[in-house]
């Protein structure tokens, strides 16, 4: 069987008859031909499915299952399960990205891992619905994290594999839109099942598998021949996860700026429920339950992320510049933090959530395009983007540690949100250090 015999996996006709050496060039070369809308739709749907499978459980279902096991210990159980899953995600993303870089399947480098990750995540979600105890629940959630991160690492690497630089802002913006839509779908799934977390897990599993279907059949992923893959050495493989800032300073600055902006963003959203309860007093002043207030603010934030991600990405493509928009969006995120710090009212919270969504949506789209232009090696795109994605996951661990003393010891919510603004602004400042991208 040849690659052309597989459904939906016919590569670009310009390389279909290439020699093995030319195949390697095709798999690793900087892409020049614009991708089709159908291919982009497939990438968007994968992002929708992954994030629905992630955030339906994280937002509601895991908490309900924790309460099912022990109402009195539900907070500790939830912290254990989500903390273990977050630890797995830090490792799984770069690891599966590196695996996909070395894959020589007839399906291509990325498709097998998108498919494997989705199947692993879906099976674990289905099993999670019947987990008999906390230990099994924790193990299965770690498998969900491993599978979803494997699929995410592969689909993220597919963008610089296939999308030319002048189109990456547009595709990156649409992918960011897909992520946000997936989060909203996860929230809807959790709300619709009305406390039946078992059914919720099954629906999330179905969303994950459905999300990868179009990409599987229409990926046109180009294979890497076995002779094009470097010999394997465990020591070299392990060393590859360290990307020297001295040798690749642009990559290092891009990683640091993403880490800082994400820490600032997580600090803003982390204590939102308590902020509405204790600082804004929405129940007393507006007659709104704080939990419902969080839902309103999250909805506003998500809508603005969707809008500005699909506007900001194409705008950066037309400008041919990334850094000015990354800096501007980072500043907007910082402004949102300051609004919350100095206007602790319901109107201020609405304004802050809206401004935060405007800034973060544009940031997600444009910063991703910038990062794809500073990757050290075409052969290691999956692994290198996995290392970048640590800067997305690590703030989930660091932000609570940074935020807690500000809230409890150093001035409360005013100091918390001012600190978040400062951290985000540092991210904007350090973007200037990137020299290889305008």
Give one DSSP letter per residue of 335-400, joined into a string. Answer: HHHHHHHH--SHHHHHHHHHHHHHHHHHHHHHHHHHHHTS-S-GGGHHHHHHHHHHHHHHHHHHHH
User: What pLDDT does 199 receive?
Assistant: 93
Query: pLDDT band for position 10 (50/70/90)?
Result: very low
Residues above pLDDT 70, as percent of the chain: 94
More confident site: 9 or 117? 117
pLDDT of residue 274: 84
pLDDT tops 80 at residue 63:
yes
Say which residue, 208 or 78, is predicted with more confidence.
208
Task: Give Cβ neighbours of residue 200 (< 8 Å, ≥ 6 apart).
Answer: 56, 57, 60, 61, 64, 189, 190, 193
Reading the block at residue 210, the tokens are 């459905």
CA distance 310 to 148: 24
**What CA–CA distance (Å, rounded) separates 61 from 55?**
9
Element (H, E) at 406: helix 381-408
The alpha helices in 109-233, defined as continuous H runs, are 111-128, 134-162, 165-192, 197-218
d(CA 333, CA 36): 32
406 pLDDT exceeds 80? yes
Model confidence at 7, pLDDT cuts 50, 70, 90, reads: very low
CA 52 – CA 203 distance, rounded (Å): 9
| Percentage of the chain exceeding pLDDT 90 | 59
The residues, any chain, with a CB within 8 Å of residue 120's CB and separated by 6 or more, are 143, 146, 147, 150
Tens of pLDDT, residues 94-126: 999 999 998 888 888 999 999 999 999 999 999
Local confidence band at 49 (pLDDT 50, 70, 90 cut-offs): very high
Q: What is the pLDDT of residue 25?
A: 57
pLDDT for residue 119: 97
Does residue 6 have a pLDDT over 60?
A: no
Tell me the average pLDDT of the chain: 88
Q: Please check whether residue 357 is in contact with residue 301, taking contact to mean a CB–CB distance below 8 angstroms.
A: yes
> Who contacts 269 (Cβ-Cβ below 8 Å, separation ≥6)?
none
Helix, strand or coil for residue 127?
Answer: helix
- Is the pLDDT at 58 greater than 90, yes or no? no
Write the pLDDT tens digit of every residue in 169-189: 999 999 999 999 998 888 888
Q: Can you tell me the mean pLDDT for 70-96?
A: 87
Of 107-116, 189-198, 396-405, give the range with the top mean pLDDT.
107-116
- At the topology level, CATH places domain 249-431 in Growth Hormone; Chain: A; (1.20.1250)
- Prediction pTM value: 0.84
Angle formed at CA 80 by CA 93 and CA 260, multiple of 5 degrees: 50
Q: Is the predicted pLDDT of residue 384 greater than 50, yes or no? A: yes
Mean pLDDT computed over 224-244: 84
Instruction: Give the residue with greater pLDDT, 1 vs 346.
Output: 346
Mean pLDDT in residue range 286-310: 89
How much is the average pLDDT of 299-303? 91
**Looking at the chain, which residues constitute the CATH 1.20.1250.20 domain(s)?**
36-220, 249-431
Q: Tell me, what's the pLDDT at 147? A: 96
Cβ contacts of residue 24 below 8 Å, gap of 6+?
224, 225, 227, 228
Q: If you average pLDDT over residues 61-72, what whole number do you get?
A: 87
pLDDT-derived band at 221, boundaries 50, 70, 90: confident
Gap between the Cα atoms of 250 and 11, Å rounded: 32
* Superfamily of the domain at 36-220: MFS general substrate transporter like domains (1.20.1250.20)
User: Residue range 237-264: average pLDDT?
Assistant: 92
Within 10 Å of residue 4's Cβ, how many Cβ atoms? 11
Decide: 158 and 221 in contact? Cβ < 8 Å.
Answer: yes
| Contact predicate 402/287, CB 8 Å | no
Q: Are 242 and 371 in contact (CB under 8 A)?
A: no
Q: Is the pLDDT of residue 414 over 90?
A: yes
pLDDT band at 43 (very low <50, low <70, confident <90, very high): very high
pLDDT per residue as tens digits for the range 14-40: 333 334 444 445 677 788 899 999 999
Location of structure tokens 């909805």: 299
pLDDT recorded at residue 129: 93
Whether 9 has a pLDDT exceeding 80, the answer reads no
């Amino acid at each position: 069987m040849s690659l052309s015999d597989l459904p939906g996996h016919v590569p670009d006709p310009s390389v279909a008859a290439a020699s093995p050496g030319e195949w390697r060039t095709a798999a690793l070369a900087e892409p020049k031909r614009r991708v089709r809308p159908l291919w982009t739709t497939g990438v968007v749907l994968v992002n929708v499915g992954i994030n629905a499978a992630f955030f339906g459980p994280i937002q509601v279902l895991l908490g309900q299952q924790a309460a099912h096991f022990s109402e009195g210990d539900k907070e500790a159980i939830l912290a254990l399960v989500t903390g273990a899953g977050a630890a797995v995600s830090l490792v799984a993303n770069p690891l599966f990205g590196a695996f996909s870089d070395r894959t020589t399947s007839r399906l291509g480098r990325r498709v097998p891992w998108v498919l494997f990750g989705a199947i692993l995540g879906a099976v674990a979600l289905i099993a999670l619905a019947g987990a008999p105890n906390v230990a099994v629940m924790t193990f299965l959630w770690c498998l969900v994290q491993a599978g979803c991160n494997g699929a995410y690492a592969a689909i993220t690497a597919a963008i610089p594999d296939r999308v030319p630089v002048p189109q990456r802002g547009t595709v990156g913006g649409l992918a960011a839109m897909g992520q946000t839509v997936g989060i909203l779908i996860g929230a809807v799934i959790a709300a619709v099942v009305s406390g039946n977390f078992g059914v919720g897990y099954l629906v999330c599993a179905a969303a994950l598998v459905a999300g990868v279907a179009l990409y599987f059949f229409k990926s046109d992923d180009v294979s890497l021949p076995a002779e094009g893959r470097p010999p394997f050495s465990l020591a070299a493989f392990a060393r590859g996860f360290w990307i020297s800032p001295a040798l690749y300073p642009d990559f290092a600055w891009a990683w640091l700026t993403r880490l800082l902006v994400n820490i600032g963003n997580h600090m803003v959203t982390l204590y939102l429920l308590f902020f509405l309860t204790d600082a804004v007093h929405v129940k007393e002043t507006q007659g709104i339950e704080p939990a419902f207030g969080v839902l309103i603010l999250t909805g506003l934030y998500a809508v603005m992320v969707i809008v500005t991600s699909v506007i900001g990405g194409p705008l950066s493509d037309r400008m041919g510049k990334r850094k000015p928009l990354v800096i501007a969006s980072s500043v907007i995120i910082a402004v949102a933090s300051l609004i919350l710090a100095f206007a602790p009212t319901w109107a201020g919270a609405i304004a802050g959530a809206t401004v935060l969504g405007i800034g973060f949506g544009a940031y997600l789209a444009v910063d991703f395009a910038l990062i794809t232009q500073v990757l050290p090696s075409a052969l290691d795109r999956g692994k290198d983007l996995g290392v970048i994605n640590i800067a997305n996951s690590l703030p989930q661990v660091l932000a609570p540690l940074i935020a807690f003393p500000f809230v409890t010891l150093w001035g409360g919510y005013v100091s918390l949100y001012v600190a978040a603004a400062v951290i985000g602004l540092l991210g904007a400042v350090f973007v200037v250090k990137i020299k290889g991208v305008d």
